[in-house]
C-alpha cells in the first residue's frame, strides 16, 4: 500500500516535471485571420520567413501553416479565409474554432503553443474592400480575444484615392490598427512592435433586447458552471470560451459551440441553453443568423462612414474604364456580343477562310508542292543515274535530259541539268 502511494506520488512528480518542461518549450500563439484574398498568407510569410510547417486541424482535412515570428518569441498561424463567424464550410469553421482555441487545438501534437490556446489575433483587412473586413472585425470583437487590425493592400487603396482614418478606427474598435503593403514588406515592423501588447476590442454592437437577454443569461449559466469546476477541470477545458461571441454561436445552434459546451459543462447545461434559445426565438420570423449578419453589416457601414473617404481619385486609364464598362449589364452585354463577333471574324473569316486559302492555294499548290514534286523527280533521276553509272551505262539522249555520265563530281552537272527539265517530264 505504502509502495503504491510512493509510486503514485513519483508518477505525479514525473508528470508535473514533464508538464513544466513542455511549458518551457511552448510560446504564445497568434492567429492570422480575415476574409479570403486579403494578404494573410503574404503577411504570414513576411512575419515568419520560410521556416514554416503545416499542421492538420484534428478531425478535418484542413491544414494550417505555423511558423515562428522572426525576432519575436511568438508562433504565428495562417488560417483559411472566412466571411462570417456563422458558417457551414469546413475551412471557415476551422479558422474560427482555431481562433477560439476550442479544445480540439490540444490535439495538435508538438504545436509548441503555450497553454494550448491562441493569445491574440491579427485580423487582416483589404483596404479597398474595407466594409466586409469591418463586418468580420465587429463579429470577432464579440469573442473578447485580444486583436490587432492590419489594413493591408494600402498601395492599391492609394492608387484609388482611398483615405482611411486609421487613428479614428483604432479609437472606435479599441484596438491598434496598422497599415501595410504585405507584398513589399511595408508595415511589418510596426505590426511586430504592436504584437507585444495587443488590446481587447470594445463591445461594438447592441442587439435587439431579446438577443441581448439570451447573451446575458447564457453567459450567466456558463459562468455559474465554471465557478463549480475544479482548477484541473478548467485546465482540461483549455481556453474557457465564455463571451458574447460564444453566446451568439449558441444562439445560431453552431455545432462546434454546442459540442464545446457539452464537453466542458455537460449535457444538462447544453439542454438548458437550447431551451432558452427556443423561448427567445419563438416569435422570430427571420432566421437568426441572417438577422445577426444584417446587424454586423449595418455596424460595419456605420464605422466605414466615419473613417473612409475616396478623395481625388486618379484619372482612370483606358483599361480601367474598359473593365468598368465590362462589369455593367447595359455596357457589358454589347461588349460581350462585339467580342464574340470579333472572334467569329478572326476564326471563321480570317483563319478558316483567308488563311486556309492562302496556305492551300498559294503556299502549297503554287510553291511547296511543285518544288517538292520537282525535287522528288530529280532525286529519282539521280537514283536512276547512279544505278546506270555504277553499271557504266549512259543515259540515252532520247530521254531529253542533257546529262553527262554521273560520277561523284557529276552531281553539280545534275543540278544544272535539272533546271532544263520540263515539269511534265
Ligand atoms: N497590391 C497588393 N497585393 C497584395 C498585397 N498583399 C497581398 N497581395 C496579393 O493578394 C493576393 C492574395 O494574397 P494571399 O496572401 O494569398 O491572401 P490570403 O487569401 O488572405 O492568404 C496575392 O496575389 C498577393 O500577392 C498588398 O499589400 N498589395
Ligand atoms: Mg492564404
Q: Which pLDDT value is given to residue 117? A: 74
Q: Of 75, 419, 89, 100, which Cα lies nearest the Cα of 264?
A: 100
Report, as an integer, the average pLDDT of 96-105: 70
CB 265 within 8 A of CB 246: no
Q: How confident is the model at residue 103 (pLDDT cuts 50, 70, 90)?
A: low
129 close to ligand 1 (CB < 6 Angstrom)? no
36 close to ligand 1 (CB < 6 Angstrom)? yes
CB 178 within 8 A of CB 190: yes
Report, as an integer, the average pLDDT of 353-368: 89
CB 136 within 8 A of CB 40: no
What angle in degrees, to the nearest 10, is found between the helix axes of 209-228 and 255-265? Answer: 30
158 CA → ligand 1 middle, Å:
16
352 CA → ligand 1 middle, Å:
42
Angle at 322 between CA 319 and CA 325, to 5 degrees: 155
d(CA 10, CA 16): 10
CA 77, chain centre distance (Å): 14
Q: Which pLDDT value is given to residue 418? A: 46
Of 100-114, 122-136, 216-230, 295-309, where does mean pLDDT reach its minimum?
100-114
68 CA → ligand 1 middle, Å:
20
91 close to ligand 1 (CB < 6 Angstrom)? no
32 close to ligand 1 (CB < 6 Angstrom)? no
Q: How confident is the model at residue 420 (pLDDT cuts 50, 70, 90)?
A: very low
pLDDT digits (tens, 9 = 90+) for 8-54: 444 455 555 555 555 555 778 899 999 999 999 999 999 998 888 88
Q: Which pLDDT value is given to residue 424? A: 44
Q: Within 13 Å and on the Cβ side, how many CA atoms surround 232?
A: 1
191 close to ligand 1 (CB < 6 Angstrom)? no
pLDDT digits (tens, 9 = 90+) for 219-243: 999 888 888 877 666 656 555 667 8
Q: Which pLDDT value is given to residue 18? A: 53
d(CA 9, CA 5): 6
d(CA 48, CA 43): 9
187 close to ligand 1 (CB < 6 Angstrom)? no
185 close to ligand 1 (CB < 6 Angstrom)? no
Q: Which atom of ligand 1 is nearest to the CA of 154?
A: 27
Residue 151 forms beta bridges with which residues?
A: 125, 179
Q: How confident is the model at residue 261 (pLDDT cuts 50, 70, 90)?
A: confident
Q: Within 13 Å and on the Cβ side, how many CA atoms surround 28?
A: 12
Q: Which pLDDT value is given to residue 406? A: 46
153 close to ligand 1 (CB < 6 Angstrom)? yes
Q: Which pLDDT value is given to residue 33? A: 93
Q: Which pLDDT value is given to residue 111? A: 66
42 close to ligand 1 (CB < 6 Angstrom)? yes
Task: Name which residue leads in pLDDT, 386 or 390.
Answer: 386
Q: How confident is the model at residue 305 (pLDDT cuts 50, 70, 90)?
A: very high
Q: How confident is the model at residue 108 (pLDDT cuts 50, 70, 90)?
A: low
Percent of the chain beyond pLDDT 90? 41
| Residue with CA closest to ligand 1 atom 12 | 37
Average pLDDT over the chain reads 81
Q: What is the DSSP letter of 182?
A: G
Report, as an integer, the average pLDDT of 79-104: 80
d(CA 209, CA 212): 5
How far is the CA of 376 from the CAs of 47, 164, 170, 263, 402, in angstroms?
A: 70, 77, 84, 88, 18
How far is the CA of 6 from the CAs of 14, 20, 182, 241, 391, in angstroms?
A: 12, 21, 57, 38, 113
d(CA 35, CA 357): 54
| Residue with CA closest to ligand 1 atom 18 | 37
* Chain position carrying cell 523527280: 377
Q: Which pLDDT value is given to residue 109? A: 58
pLDDT digits (tens, 9 = 90+) for 278-304: 988 888 788 898 999 999 999 999 999
d(CA 311, CA 327): 22
CB 136 within 8 A of CB 123: yes
CB 277 within 8 A of CB 251: yes
Q: How confident is the model at residue 339 (pLDDT cuts 50, 70, 90)?
A: very high
Q: How confident is the model at residue 310 (pLDDT cuts 50, 70, 90)?
A: confident
What angle in degrees, to the nearest 10, is found between the helix axes of 267-280 and 244-251? Answer: 70
Of 8-12, 33-37, 114-118, 131-135, where does mean pLDDT reach its minimum?
8-12
Q: Which pLDDT value is given to residue 419? A: 43
At 276, is the secondary structure helix, strand, or coil?
helix
Of the listed ligands, the closest to the CA of 156 is 1
Tell me the CATH class for 2-204.
alpha beta
CA 121, chain centre distance (Å): 18
At 147, is the secondary structure helix, strand, or coil?
strand
Report, as an integer, the average pLDDT of 193-209: 92
Of the listed ligands, the closest to the CA of 182 is 1
How far is the CA of 330 from the CAs of 95, 338, 417, in angstroms?
A: 39, 13, 71
| Residue with CA closest to ligand 1 atom 8 | 39
Task: Name which residue leads in pLDDT, 29 or 405.
Answer: 29
* Chain position carrying cell 461571441: 245
152 CA → ligand 1 middle, Å:
8
- Cell numbers of 183, please? 507584398
Q: Which pLDDT value is given to residue 130? A: 93
151 close to ligand 1 (CB < 6 Angstrom)? no
Q: How confident is the model at residue 64 (pLDDT cuts 50, 70, 90)?
A: confident
* Chain position carrying cell 445577426: 292
Task: Determine if the pTM surpasses 0.85.
Answer: no
Q: Is 409 exposed, middle or buried (0-12, 13-18, 19+ CB in 10 A)?
A: exposed
Q: Which pLDDT value is given to residue 101? A: 66
Of the listed ligands, the closest to the CA of 178 is 1
Report, as an integer, the average pLDDT of 318-330: 83
CB 35 within 8 A of CB 136: yes
At 220, is the secondary structure helix, strand, or coil?
helix
| Residue with CA closest to ligand 1 atom 25 | 183
Q: What is the DSSP letter of 195?
A: T
> Which segment, 14-23, 127-136, 374-383, is predicted with the most confidence on average?
127-136
d(CA 425, CA 421): 7
| Residue with CA closest to ligand 1 atom 6 | 39
155 CA → ligand 1 middle, Å:
11
Amino acid at each position: 500500500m505504502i509502495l503504491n502511494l510512493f509510486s503514485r506520488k513519483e508518477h505525479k512528480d514525473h508528470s508535473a516535471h514533464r508538464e513544466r518542461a513542455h511549458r518551457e518549450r511552448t510560446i504564445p500563439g497568434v492567429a492570422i485571420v480575415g476574409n479570403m484574398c486579403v494578404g494573410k498568407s503574404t503577411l504570414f510569410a513576411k512575419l515568419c520567413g520560410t521556416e514554416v510547417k503545416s499542421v492538420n486541424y484534428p478531425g478535418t482535412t484542413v491544414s494550417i501553416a505555423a511558423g515562428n515570428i522572426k525576432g519575436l518569441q511568438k508562433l504565428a498561424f495562417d488560417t483559411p479565409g472566412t466571411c462570417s463567424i456563422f458558417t457551414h464550410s469546413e475551412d471557415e469553421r476551422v479558422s474560427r474554432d482555431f481562433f477560439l482555441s476550442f479544445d480540439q487545438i490540444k490535439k495538435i501534437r508538438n504545436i509548441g503553443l503555450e497553454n494550448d490556446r491562441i493569445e491574440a489575433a491579427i485580423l487582416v483587412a483589404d483596404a479597398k474592400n474595407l466594409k466586409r473586413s469591418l463586418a468580420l472585425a465587429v463579429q470577432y470583437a464579440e469573442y473578447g480575444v485580444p486583436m490587432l487590425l492590419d489594413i493591408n493592400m494600402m498601395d492599391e487603396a492609394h492608387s484609388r484615392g482611398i483615405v482611411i482614418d486609421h487613428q479614428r478606427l483604432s479609437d472606435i474598435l479599441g484596438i491598434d490598427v496598422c497599415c501595410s503593403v504585405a507584398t513589399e514588406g511595408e508595415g511589418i515592423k510596426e505590426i511586430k512592435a504592436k504584437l507585444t501588447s495587443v488590446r481587447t476590442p470594445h463591445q461594438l454592437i447592441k442587439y435587439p433586447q431579446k438577443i441581448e437577454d439570451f447573451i446575458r443569461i447564457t453567459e450567466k449559466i456558463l459562468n455559474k458552471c465554471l465557478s463549480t469546476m475544479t482548477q484541473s477541470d478548467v485546465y482540461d477545458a483549455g481556453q474557457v470560451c465564455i463571451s458574447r461571441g460564444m453566446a451568439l454561436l449558441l444562439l445560431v445552434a453552431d455545432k462546434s459551440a454546442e459540442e464545446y459546451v457539452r464537453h466542458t459543462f455537460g449535457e444538462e447545461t447544453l439542454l438548458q441553453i437550447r431551451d432558452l434559445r427556443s423561448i427567445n426565438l419563438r416569435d422570430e420570423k427571420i432566421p437568426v443568423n441572417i438577422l445577426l449578419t444584417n446587424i454586423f453589416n449595418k455596424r460595419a457601414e456605420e464605422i466605414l462612414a466615419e473613417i473612409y473617404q475616396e478623395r481625388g481619385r486618379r484619372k482612370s486609364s483606358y483599361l480601367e474604364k474598359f473593365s468598368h464598362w465590362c462589369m455593367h449589364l447595359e455596357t457589358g452585354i454589347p461588349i460581350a456580343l462585339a467580342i464574340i463577333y470579333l472572334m467569329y471574324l478572326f476564326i471563321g473569316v480570317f483563319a478558316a477562310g483567308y488563311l486556309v486559302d492562302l496556305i492551300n492555294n498559294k503556299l502549297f499548290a503554287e510553291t511547296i508542292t511543285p518544288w517538292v514534286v520537282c525535287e522528288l523527280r530529280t532525286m529519282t533521276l539521280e537514283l536512276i543515274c547512279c544505278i546506270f553509272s555504277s553499271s557504266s551505262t549512259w543515259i540515252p539522249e532520247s530521254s531529253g535530259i542533257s546529262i553527262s555520265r554521273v560520277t561523284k563530281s557529276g552531281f553539280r552537272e545534275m543540278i544544272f541539268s535539272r533546271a532544263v527539265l520540263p515539269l511534265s517530264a
